[in-house]
Structure 1
Amino acid sequence: MKKILLFNMASLLFFAMPAFSQETTKPVMSKSMTPAEVNLRVPSAGEAYSFDRQRQVPDDLIVPGEWEESQAILLAWPYPSSNTSTYNVLWSKLINTIQKECEVWIMVDQASDTTLAISRMLAQGVSLTNHKFLIKPTNAFWARDYGPWGFYHGQSDSLGFVDIQYYNTRPLDNQVPSWLAGHLDLGLYSSRIKMEGGNFMVDGYGHGFYSTRLNINNANSNWQNPSWALSQTFDTVQKIFNLNTVTELTSLNCDGGTGHIDIYTKLLDEQTILVSEYPSEVTASDKQIIENNTALMKTLTSTYGRPFKIHRIPMATRNNGTYPITCTQIDSDARGFVNGLFVNKTFIFPSYSNTVSGNVAGDSAAIDMYRKFLPGYNIVLIDARVLTTMGGAIHCITMQIPSENPIRFWHPTVEGIQPWATGGFHILSKITNKDGIASSECKWRKKGSSTWNAIQLTDSSGYLTCIIPGLNILSNDTIEYFLHAESNNGKQMSKPITAPNGYYTFYFDDITNAASVFEPYSKDHLFAAYPNPAREQVNVQFYLKAPASVRITLTDALGRQLHQTELPGQDSGKIETQINISGLQQGIYYYSLYTNGALVKTRKLIVQ
């Protein structure tokens, strides 16, 4: 017999399901506030934040990234509406996918609702095997917006919750973080900032992102009394999430009414950002807003001191394969492929077709792109058309609960084109766990080999390091690798989390290939700089097949960008520019050519 957890405000109980019950009914609420709710708003007053149970703000609070390990996914059961069967199909597939990776915590309004929920999932061929039912009434199922933000703190990586204020016209939803923290006996860090979870993302290392809608809401006297200045909103976000860097993105105008960033952008890991890309025929202002926000994010650096990698994914079409082009058309059904959910080694994203209708080819193209962006992940698509007309999708109805006893990795990856060196390739990392790391290693192989070579990581000035040996690696080889660690309490984890099915890949610039003599004039090309080695100044030459905007970057051996030259509007042909390197110390550096934002080539530079 399956166990069902019953949470209430007095106790934690197990109960047996009743044989017959009457399912709760309530209206399905849109993701954004309805006009009636806007008129019912009551402004908040008092302190901007307080730490209810710990009595002081942890100075080592860490909010992990969504791609890190989760112990559970929190969601609310949907209640009957005119399209109940569509909800049942979506929720059943979603719950079944989640429970294969971790527990799924399902909030229902009353104990008797569990019977019908189980029955409805069985009708879809889904048996619950890894779940808890939480008897917690809610107003709506948009759990991302009102659910708790989990964080770690202290030497034991204790789990706690950040509680931000959801719509006060939905009081049952607003209670969820404090209610759950109370029954799990976790610290709760509360703020009266008006903020929804879909309008915030973090990299796990102190960099947060939100949209201008957050400032607009908290500057409104109908939300805050007195209204907040922009600096108060900024400082509060920085304080409650312990952020070093906060990036504000311009809100969209045609996203279903929320202004949330998760509609069009997502961190895929601590150094990679995914952004929707609208086709040229779109006339809505959101197209340019997204491009402006993308341009801003391209100027940002990750925790590794490198520019964020930016991936683009096309806008989703309507059922007939055409794009909505006006603001009104997009706003009424804000479809996109970005609003997905990480569940450990699985990624679930919204799709817009089934066996009867929709653009199957568009969904297939999106899944192919995700397999490229997220190697090794189990990629699952779920038809989300019932949600997008209400302003949300898969990410919006779910919230990760971080794992207990995490092993966390900090690792500037060695990826893409690298200078070929017989001396080997340096791997650098920091790996932490509350009880310490018993062992750690880098596993690597040449592409095509089925055998992984293991190299122990050793301590070097606080970093765990090793060298993948360059001996016997040829310049036309491709190298695959991942990191693995075991803690003193027996926990094991890899980076990437999907290893060994997923891994990092790097390869080389084979300049000895005779064909390369003719290659530069068939496409954009970066030539060897001169002099090299250099001391004061280096000349960089490149060839453009067609007019383009050019960026040249100079990075050190750790990938940290030290110099950037922007050359907009360059004509086709061979071009030369100079870089002043007089301020650089002796060592090995790398210069890269980008045309229209795309990397063309990277080469090595030696500074004497």
Structure 2
Amino acid sequence: MKLIAGFAFFLLFYPVLSGQVQNPRHPAEWEEVSAVVMEFRYFKNPGVSWDEAFDPFVKTAQACIKEGIDFYILNPDTNWSRNPVPVCLDTVFSNRNISSLLIHIVPTDTLSASFPWARDHGMYLVYQNDVEQRFLLNFEDDHSGKFIADHLGIPAVTIDAPFSEPYYSDGGNFMTDGHGTFNIAASYTAKEIPTGLQTDFSYFHRHFDIRQTLNLPSSFVHVDYFMKLIDEATALIAYIPNNNYDVLIDEFYDDQYYIDQAVITVSQQLHTFNGQAIRFVPIQNAPTTYDEKTGIVLHTSKATYINSLILNKTVLVPQYRIEPFDKLAIAAYKKALPGYNIVGVDCRQYAHLSGAIHCLTHEIYAETPIYLKHQWYEGDISHAPNGYPVSVMAKSVVGIRQAVLHWRTNKDEPFATKVMKSMPSNHFQAIIPSCENGTTIEYYLQVENNMGKVVHKPVVAPAHFYSFAIKE
């Protein structure tokens, strides 16, 4: 672990700018991440074990070590008035046999708020011109975001909140595909913001170059509590049936109505970058529970498994010590995201305050990304005597060395490879040879830039790949 102090000198070289970034692009969550930020607060209900209280920090640390990325924990000074009990995080990790130079415990007294929701404290990272300079966008009162920008040496830009209602601009209310196609948000408290699709909505268009914003009706929380994109065409969605409620505890029973309305609204008004409909995969929330030992009342609307975090090839999924729902959620993630490392994280004592692992964290994207856009084949495809063209748009600030297509027609055989031909406008293309009817073709893409960095599409290939079948 690194215990770090003294950062004022960064301010001399990375001033906070005002205004906007020219030609910005906000990446999708499944793109390459180089670091994760969390903010430590002392939250521990009586009767909650230390292992449960620290599990989000421990599991995030282990995931970062596995993925080889940095983990920054903003830790209030022990004299901070909002931190009633001094906690040595270095000891927390060492007592659990976690030791790595990738873990950075950063003392600070400039946190944005008393709650630990790093997701909502600015730190919107955008690339200029798709893959070039990184900027961290923060609101005026997002001290944590400005602090981490200074600490990491990333230029910070102060942006305006779009309305007097701050809820709408929280990070948990921001979901995009990385191509500027859309942003999806929830707006149950912002009465001046109409629900439905808005084209070139000034705030998101100006700061993120997002061309459509869809405001969903919501009964309770940010969009990341009931909907999550896992790729350009697939979203996980919460499912809260009536029998999830406890009539002795719950006072509100209409969550599923609002979730259904959200799915209908997305289906009717949004499409992927290539015009496809977005598919939904439901995962049932845990039911409402009351734990007398800890005093934790966990309403079913807050016991969501959708508030997960994708860190490159690892996915952290909330858990609530409620079976069989925890295990069913893990199984659902493994099915929806084959090839990923799915890890459960105990979020019970945070969720009753309306936050889970996605709310607690904020990813920092890679400095030299490779940006890919690919319309993949899936399902049944008509027989084509001239083969099946595969193309990808690939960009890197240092240039692309090569793109390679890997494909096979027999799962028991190795993948064949073909270097893709460079085309205009950063595109690369290759053709999978024609196959007879009934053949299933599996394929993935591998792209390398001129620095030797390699990424795949899908991200976890070759552990998982695209597939389609040839029909008449």
TM class by smaller structure? 0.7 to 0.9
Partner of 1:268: 230
SS in 2 for 1:202: coil
Deviations 1:173-210 (A, max 9, x none): x2011222233343322223122111111111111111
How far residue 332 of structure 1 moved from its aligned partner, in angstroms, is: 7.3
Partner of 2:3: 4
Letter of the structure 2 residue corresponding to residue 132 of structure 1: H
- 1:266-305 map, 5 Å: 266-279=228-241, 281=243, 284-299=253-268, 300-305=270-275
Residue 353 of structure 2: which of 362, 366, 390 is its match? 390
Residue 488 of structure 1: which of 431, 437, 450 is its match? 450
Partner of 1:476: 438
Instruction: Answer whether contact 2:198 2:213 (CA < 8 A) is retained.
Output: no
- 1:200-599 map, 5 Å: 200-206=174-180, 207-213=182-188, 215-216=190-191, 234-253=201-220, 259-279=221-241, 281=243, 284-299=253-268, 300-318=270-288, 331=299, 334-353=302-321, 358-359=322-323, 361-462=324-425, 463-470=427-434, 473-509=435-471
Query: 2: distance between equivalents of 1:107 and 1:439?
Result: 39
How far residue 218 of structure 1 moved from its aligned partner, in angstroms, is: 8.3
How far residue 216 of structure 1 moved from its aligned partner, in angstroms, is: 3.6
2:159 pairs with 1:191: yes
Query: 2: distance between equivalents of 1:148 and 1:395?
Result: 14
SS in 2 for 1:284: coil
SS in 1 for 2:5: strand
Query: 2: distance between equivalents of 1:239 and 1:215?
Result: 20
Question: Is the alpha carbon distance of 1:185 and 1:122 closer, same or farther for their aligned partners in structure 2, counting shifts above 3 Å?
Answer: closer
SS in 2 for 1:6: coil
SS in 2 for 1:201: coil
Partner of 1:589: none
Question: Is the alpha carbon distance of 1:150 and 1:217 closer, same or farther for their aligned partners in structure 2, counting shifts above 3 Å?
Answer: farther
Query: 1: distance between equivalents of 2:449 and 2:226?
Result: 37
How far residue 281 of structure 1 moved from its aligned partner, in angstroms, is: 4.3
Query: 2: distance between equivalents of 1:131 and 1:114?
Result: 19
SS in 2 for 1:335: coil
How far residue 465 of structure 1 moved from its aligned partner, in angstroms, is: 1.3
Question: Is the alpha carbon distance of 1:403 and 1:80 closer, same or farther for their aligned partners in structure 2, counting shifts above 3 Å?
Answer: same
SS in 2 for 1:106: strand
Letter of the structure 2 residue corresponding to residue 6 of structure 1: A
Letter of the structure 2 residue corresponding to residue 292 of structure 1: Q
Instruction: Answer whether contact 1:212 1:249 (CA < 8 A) is retained.
Output: yes
Letter of the structure 2 residue corresponding to residue 349 of structure 1: V
How far residue 429 of structure 1 moved from its aligned partner, in angstroms, is: 1.2
Instruction: Answer whether contact 1:276 1:312 (CA < 8 A) is retained.
Output: yes
Letter of the structure 2 residue corresponding to residue 95 of structure 1: A
Deviations 1:534-590 (A, max 9, x none): xxxxxxxxxxxxxxxxxxxxxxxxxxxxxxxxxxxxxxxxxxxxxxxxxxxxxxxxx
Letter of the structure 1 residue corresponding to residue 468 of structure 2: F
Instruction: Answer whether contact 1:425 1:469 (CA < 8 A) is retained.
Output: yes
Letter of the structure 2 residue corresponding to residue 200 of structure 1: F
SS in 2 for 1:100: helix
Query: 2: distance between equivalents of 1:304 and 1:398?
Result: 30
Q: Structure 1, unaligned stretches of length 5 or more?
A: 13-50, 166-170, 220-229, 254-258, 321-328, 512-608
Partner of 1:593: none
Question: Is the alpha carbon distance of 1:155 and 1:428 closer, same or farther for their aligned partners in structure 2, counting shifts above 3 Å?
Answer: closer
Deviations 1:268-320 (A, max 9, x none): 11222211122254682221111011011112111112222222222223569
Query: 1: distance between equivalents of 2:423 and 2:199?
Result: 41
Instruction: Answer whether contact 2:131 2:370 (CA < 8 A) is retained.
Output: no
Instruction: Answer whether contact 1:96 1:128 (CA < 8 A) is retained.
Output: no
Question: Is the alpha carbon distance of 1:375 and 1:273 closer, same or farther for their aligned partners in structure 2, counting shifts above 3 Å?
Answer: same
User: Is the deviation greater in 307-316 or in 341-350?
Assistant: 307-316
2:22 pairs with 1:59: yes
Question: Is the alpha carbon distance of 1:214 and 1:479 closer, same or farther for their aligned partners in structure 2, counting shifts above 3 Å?
Answer: farther
Identity between Structure 1 and Structure 2 (%): 25
Residue 93 of structure 1: which of 49, 59, 70 is its match? 59
How far residue 490 of structure 1 moved from its aligned partner, in angstroms, is: 1.7
Question: Is the alpha carbon distance of 1:401 and 1:203 closer, same or farther for their aligned partners in structure 2, counting shifts above 3 Å?
Answer: same
Partner of 2:36: 73
- 1:17-28 map, 5 Å: none
Determine which structure has greater relative contact order: mean sequence separation of CA pairs < 8 Å that are 6+ residues apart, divided by chain length: 2
Question: Is the alpha carbon distance of 1:233 and 1:459 closer, same or farther for their aligned partners in structure 2, counting shifts above 3 Å?
Answer: closer
How far residue 72 of structure 1 moved from its aligned partner, in angstroms, is: 0.2
SS in 1 for 2:61: helix
How far residue 382 of structure 1 moved from its aligned partner, in angstroms, is: 1.3
Partner of 1:34: none
Instruction: Answer whether contact 1:88 1:121 (CA < 8 A) is retained.
Output: no
Letter of the structure 2 residue corresponding to residue 79 of structure 1: Y
Question: Is the alpha carbon distance of 1:74 and 1:295 closer, same or farther for their aligned partners in structure 2, counting shifts above 3 Å?
Answer: same
Q: Structure 2, unaligned stretches of length 5 or more?
A: 80-84, 245-251, 291-296
Q: Mark the structure with the bigger radius of gyration.
A: 1
Partner of 1:150: 125
User: Is the deviation greater in 184-193 or in 491-500?
Assistant: 184-193
How far residue 135 of structure 1 moved from its aligned partner, in angstroms, is: 2.0
Residue 92 of structure 2: which of 108, 115, 120 is its match? 120
2:72 pairs with 1:105: yes
Query: 1: distance between equivalents of 2:201 and 2:368?
Result: 31
- 1:153-192 map, 5 Å: 153-154=128-129, 157-164=132-139, 174-192=142-160
SS in 2 for 1:118: helix
SS in 1 for 2:190: helix
SS in 2 for 1:68: coil
Question: Is the alpha carbon distance of 1:110 and 1:84 closer, same or farther for their aligned partners in structure 2, counting shifts above 3 Å?
Answer: farther
Partner of 2:249: none
Q: In the comparison of the two structures, how many residue pairs are matched?
A: 434
Deviations 1:100-136 (A, max 9, x none): 1111111112389998212122333433442222222
Q: What is the TM-score normalised by the length of structure 2?
A: 0.84
Letter of the structure 2 residue corresponding to residue 89 of structure 1: D
Instruction: Answer whether contact 1:150 1:402 (CA < 8 A) is retained.
Output: yes
Query: 2: distance between equivalents of 1:245 and 1:233?
Result: 6
Query: 2: distance between equivalents of 1:231 and 1:457?
Result: 38
- Root-mean-square deviation (CA, aligned residues, Å) is 3.0
